[in-house]
Amino acid sequence: MSTPLQDILAQRIRDNGPLNIGEFMAEALTHPQHGYYMDKDPFGRAGDFTTAPEISQMFGEMIGVWAADLWQLMGAPESFIWLECGPGRGTLSADALRATRHVPGFHEAAEIHLLEASPVLKKAQAQALAGFKPVWHETLETLPAGKPLILIANEFLDALPIRQMLKTAKGWEERVVATDIGGTGLVYASRDLTSEDRARIPTHITGTPEGTIFEFSPARDLFIKAVCRCLREHGGAALFIDYGYERSAPGETLQAVRAHEYVPVLSKPGESDISAHVDFGQLLRTARDSGVHTLGPVPQGRFLQTLGIGLRAQTLAQKASSVQREELEKALHRLTDSAQMGALFKVAGLYYGTKTVPTGF
């Protein structure tokens, strides 16, 4: 059984030729009618996947502590932009803001802005953040000018489209999505690389065997450059938390998840979450080339421990029932343990204009 989006994409490929992986990923996630994120709430046990803020309130609370501390280090500006990118259900911002409500002046100074593509999730965010009058954006270009920025993005960069190069018998080519012989199924193929794209292959990976895949993400690079522009113009910091790797390296990380199981990437586009691990090495290089200071990446577990998640869990446990205490313990392990999310998930910070370095690194 094909999906409506598969039929649309197959038609487009028959008319105009194959799509690169980035084009496929963008359509699969954000096609206006059938994109995965556009018409559903994918989170939680009944959904397709669970994220850190949905595991425990402690995650957002720690980010709140980080941000309030940073705001004070920045000299407690009277007004700043709190921007969360890809806020999902709005849980992280809601927990962060609740945790900081007693920080004198912080809420008065915070203007809440959200970068979000999904109409369904915007509604959930409006509910979670009722009272904070959030303003939504689809691009950084529409953010108000003249105010420092505190940007938070958890599991956002992994949703920005990547492209793939494939080492074939003929050398490096671009991996693309084509149609099968019947003209309706989607299959992988490859085609020549442009010389501009060829120049992206790091020299240390040129001698790799046939079948090797190298991922790159012009969309992420552009986004990071735009964030750096905002930071350079108005000061502030950005925090990126995501699954990913520290050093640019070959290997396929593109994945599709449905109902908490991995599924083939090209099957049922629009009905599974497609993402790819973040190349933190590339992220930090792009930021440094854009004239912004960088921190990390550090493992999520260490970052949360440094901010005091252990102590927070103890405080919450004091007022909890034994069942709740068990849940707290489980959540703490899930977020911080190296065998769970603690090491695969990493945290990188970018900052500019603040003499003081953000904490947690």
Residue 248 contacts residue 279 (beta carbons within 8 Å): yes
Phi, psi of 235 (to 5 degrees): 80, 170
How big is the chain, counted in residues?
361
Q: Does residue 243 touch ligand SAH according to CB under 6 A?
A: no
- Options 24, 66, 132, 156; binder of ligand SAH; rule CB under 6 A: 156
| Cβ-based neighbours of 80, under 8 Å, separated by 6 or more | 71, 74, 109, 110, 111, 147, 148, 149, 150, 236
Q: Does residue 235 touch ligand SAH according to CB under 6 A?
A: no
Which one, 2 or 39, has the nearer CB to ligand SAH?
39
Q: Does residue 87 touch ligand SAH according to CB under 6 A?
A: yes
Q: Does residue 64 touch ligand SAH according to CB under 6 A?
A: no
Closest distance between ligand SAH and the C-beta of residue 341, in Å? 11
- Options 20, 93, 154, 248; binder of ligand SAH; rule CB under 6 A: 154
Q: Does residue 118 touch ligand SAH according to CB under 6 A?
A: yes
Q: Does residue 347 touch ligand SAH according to CB under 6 A?
A: no
Which one, 90 or 148, has the nearer CB to ligand SAH?
90
- Options 74, 128, 129, 159; binder of ligand SAH; rule CB under 6 A: 159
Stretch that binds ligand SAH, among 81-89, 180-188, 299-307, 312-320 (CB under 6 A): 81-89
Q: Does residue 190 touch ligand SAH according to CB under 6 A?
A: no
Q: Does residue 257 touch ligand SAH according to CB under 6 A?
A: no
Give the Cα separation of 115 and 83 in Å (integer): 7
Closest CA to 152 of 236, 269, 49: 236
Structure token pair of residue 309 = 């998640």
Q: Does residue 342 touch ligand SAH according to CB under 6 A?
A: no
Using CB atoms within 10 Å of the CB of residue 334, give its burial: 0 to 12 exposed, 13 to 18 middle, 19+ buried. middle
Q: Does residue 54 touch ligand SAH according to CB under 6 A?
A: yes
- Options 27, 31, 34, 51; binder of ligand SAH; rule CB under 6 A: 51
Using CB atoms within 10 Å of the CB of residue 152, give its burial: 0 to 12 exposed, 13 to 18 middle, 19+ buried. buried
What counts of helices (H) and strands (E) characterise the chain? 14, 16
Q: Does residue 93 touch ligand SAH according to CB under 6 A?
A: no
Pairing of strands 236-245, 110-115: unpaired
Considering only residues 17-36, where is the footprint of ligand SAH by CB under 6 A? 29-30
Distances 42 to 74, 119, 143, 270, 310 between C-alpha atoms, Å: 36, 13, 27, 12, 29
Chain residues binding ligand SAH by CB under 6 A are 29-30, 37, 51, 53-54, 86-88, 92, 115-118, 121, 154-156, 159
